Structure 1
Amino acid sequence: MASSQGTIVLTGANGGLGSAIVTNLLKKPELAAYTGVYTVRKAATATALKRVLDAGPASHKHDIVDLDLSSLVSVRETAAEINRRVAAGDLPPIRALILNAAYQDHEELDLGTTMFLTSCFNIDDKRNTIGGEPYKGRTTLFPSVEELAKGTWSTPKDGDGWWTGFRRYGASKLCAVMLMHELANRIGTDPDLSNITVVGLDPGAMSSDLTRRGGSSMHFNIKVMLPIIAYLAVKFSPNGAMRPLWKSAGDVVRLCFDVDAPKGKLLYLNGTDEFETAKEARNAANRKSLWDYGVVAAGIKQGDTVLTNWQ
């Protein structure tokens, strides 16, 4: 039988923020006592995560699990295996599920999955105009579920350079926030699951591999300039637009374990500050259309989930 305080499941654990979250967890003995299930695209090449684990306490129980977030088959198989292990007592009950993973492609159109550690992109947020005007002439990041799912909106063919990819990324983040709202509402009215809280976090702009296919100038700005700027900026504005990885990782862990989140309602933070999500994310009709489309696209059927109000 498994023995620890509980299990922490973290997706995208080999990325910049993911490995920083693991570093933060292992620095706290009370959290290192949890069992970690760290998902990565390929365990054999998860070098950043392995370096962090090797430097942490040897007593920390953990598994590195292959998970391709762009594949619904892989997501379903991995979730089913984790559920099976918890039910069998091989893993302690899940205490925190940290859905962290993202990818931003400015040059090509690749469809994938974005999880719940997300930025609050919206048309009216002035933070998105720091480097230009990506939404100029546009009034929405949610044209329709079909357009976003099929990749027919804001494509490289629009001739707007790398802003097309920025807008697609923003739309995916908006959808993630919409799903957070919808999930929080549905869990809150579920008689068996209402003790579960749903939280979201905007970690700010960080130096990671998020834009690794964005060109040499973008790589220089993200990997060289941003860490310097973020190091200075966070001293004056802890929850400003640019933040070091260690700051955002600490915010993630704090939100999971130190903040009393309301039940039945999404708590969304920008760093450590409570933040109102975008107007489009709060649109109940759009949220339901996105939820309904996701249920069909994922092939979810009766018996696949314990959530009562899943349809």
Structure 2
Amino acid sequence: MKYTIVMTGASRGIGRVAAEQILRRSPDVHLLVVARASSGAQLAAELATGGHTVAHVPADLGSLESVRQAAAEIRDRLDRGDLPPLRGFVGNAGIQYTDALTEGPDGLESTFTVNVLANHVFVRTLQDRFAVPARIVITVSDTHFGDFKHNMGMVPGPVWKSPDVLARTGAFPKPHTTAAGRTAYSTSKLAAIYLVHEYARRLPAGIDAIAYNPGFVPGTGLARNADPVSRFAMRRIMPMMTLTPFATSRSAAGRYLADVVLGTTAAPTGSYVDRARTARSSDESYDPRRESELWEAAERTTARLLKS
């Protein structure tokens, strides 16, 4: 029986590999990709090669109003019967900036908007349209550990603050620096894990929420906002690290993501999946007080959108 999976971040990197794997391995999937209007139709057409069923809905994930419109359109298509039952949401899109001062059209810091709040708008708008069993998968990062073992000194660890502060520009010291931008990234990934824990508590039984960590994956588009030297290193030099245990190849990371989405990797709701296995995330990532605080702030920040 046909079913729908909604996916962000399917245009490149591990998301593209995962999308292709999902379609190849599950012919019943109707994949609905969320992408910019300028590229969504072409992406859907490329993924549909071979007879796969793929559609797209346009959105700029840096704009919560655009995300709201996309989520509402998906909800309406489901209600009209234009899409088969919804069984999955994959929040794979992510962004990292070279500062902590980039502000989106909603007046919010862009890293937090894309990596945390955009997923929340999709999940909350669609939560009563899921047909169980269903699975929500949010791509996170082991940068949230904040130690050399997981980050190799390349990304500062998270610096947790009130979510209302994190949602605004300038939340970290020297906000104009690359270090601040990377701190915003690792902190947003910690926040994403907190929200996964809240989804596990709050969503109806049968809708599982999973945090997926691909590990360090060089050669993806995550560094596209970095300086030329860093972009060159990520494209040309860092991929050699996939020959070591310290990095994951794009193909392997995409395959692991598909495994989580399709349920090949067993993971109860609220789990943290590190590549191919369920594991424990950082000690800091288990904090019910912070999780509740973030939930309330995310609800407050997106309340107007969720009522539309």
TM-score range for the pair, normalised by the shorter chain length = 0.7 to 0.9
Once the two structures are superposed, what CA deviation does each residue of 1:205-226 show, in whole Å capped at 9, x if it has no partner?
A: 2221111121111111111112
Letter aligned with residue 172 of structure 2: S
Report whether the alignment pairs 1:151 with 2:169: yes
Task: Give 1:126's aligned residue.
Answer: 148
Once the two structures are superposed, what CA deviation does each residue of 1:241-265 show, in whole Å capped at 9, x if it has no partner?
A: 4111111111111112213332xx4
Alignment of 1:184-203 (within 5 A): 184-187=200-203, 193-203=204-214
Alignment counterpart, residue 184 of structure 2, candidates 148, 168, 178: 168
State how far apart, in whole Å, the 1-side matches of 2:84 and 2:307 are. 23
Letter aligned with residue 177 of structure 1: I
Letter aligned with residue 80 of structure 1: A
Alignment counterpart, residue 28 of structure 2, candidates 23, 28, 33: 33
In 1, are the aligned partners of 2:267 and 2:273 still within 8 Å (CA)?
no
Higher helix proportion: 2
Aligned length: 276
The answer for unaligned runs of 5 or more in structure 1 is: 188-192, 305-311
Alignment counterpart, residue 295 of structure 2, candidates 291, 294, 299: 291
User: Whose Rg is larger?
Assistant: 1
In 2, are the aligned partners of 1:25 and 1:253 still within 8 Å (CA)?
yes
Alignment of 1:3-152 (within 5 A): 4-28=1-25, 31-42=26-37, 44-46=38-40, 49=43, 52-53=46-47, 56-57=49-50, 59-107=51-99, 109-110=101-102, 111-112=109-110, 113-114=114-115, 115=119, 116-122=138-144, 124-131=146-153, 134-135=156-157, 141-152=159-170
Letter aligned with residue 142 of structure 1: W
Once the two structures are superposed, what CA deviation does each residue of 1:8-27 show, in whole Å capped at 9, x if it has no partner?
A: 11112213222121222233
Alignment counterpart, residue 261 of structure 2, candidates 235, 256, 259: 256
State how far apart, in whole Å, the 2-side matches of 1:48 and 1:19 are. 13
Task: Give 2:275's aligned residue.
Answer: 271
State how far apart, in whole Å, the 2-side matches of 1:132 and 1:208 are. 16
SS at match of 1:197: strand
Higher strand proportion: 2
What TM-score comes out, normalization by structure 2 length? 0.81
Q: 1:300 to 1:259 in 2, by over 3 A?
A: farther
State how far apart, in whole Å, the 1-side matches of 2:162 and 2:168 are. 10
State how far apart, in whole Å, the 2-side matches of 1:185 and 1:268 are. 15
Task: Give 1:307's aligned residue.
Answer: none
State how far apart, in whole Å, the 2-side matches of 1:300 and 1:282 are. 29
State how far apart, in whole Å, the 2-side matches of 1:80 and 1:133 are. 36
Task: Give 2:123's aligned residue.
Answer: none
Q: CA deviation at 1:71?
A: 1.4
- Give the fraction of aligned pairs with identical amino acids, expressed as a percent: 25
Q: CA deviation at 1:162?
A: 2.0
The answer for unaligned runs of 5 or more in structure 2 is: 103-108, 120-137
In 2, are the aligned partners of 1:104 and 1:169 still within 8 Å (CA)?
yes
In 1, are the aligned partners of 2:143 and 2:151 still within 8 Å (CA)?
no
Q: 1:223 to 1:301 in 2, by over 3 A?
A: closer
Q: CA deviation at 1:129?
A: 4.5
Q: CA deviation at 1:275?
A: 1.9
Q: Cα RMSD over matched residues?
A: 2.4
In 1, are the aligned partners of 2:4 and 2:87 still within 8 Å (CA)?
yes
SS at match of 1:39: strand
Q: 1:62 to 1:122 in 2, by over 3 A?
A: closer
State how far apart, in whole Å, the 2-side matches of 1:51 and 1:81 are. 20
Once the two structures are superposed, what CA deviation does each residue of 1:46-71 show, in whole Å capped at 9, x if it has no partner?
A: 598357426x31x2111122111111
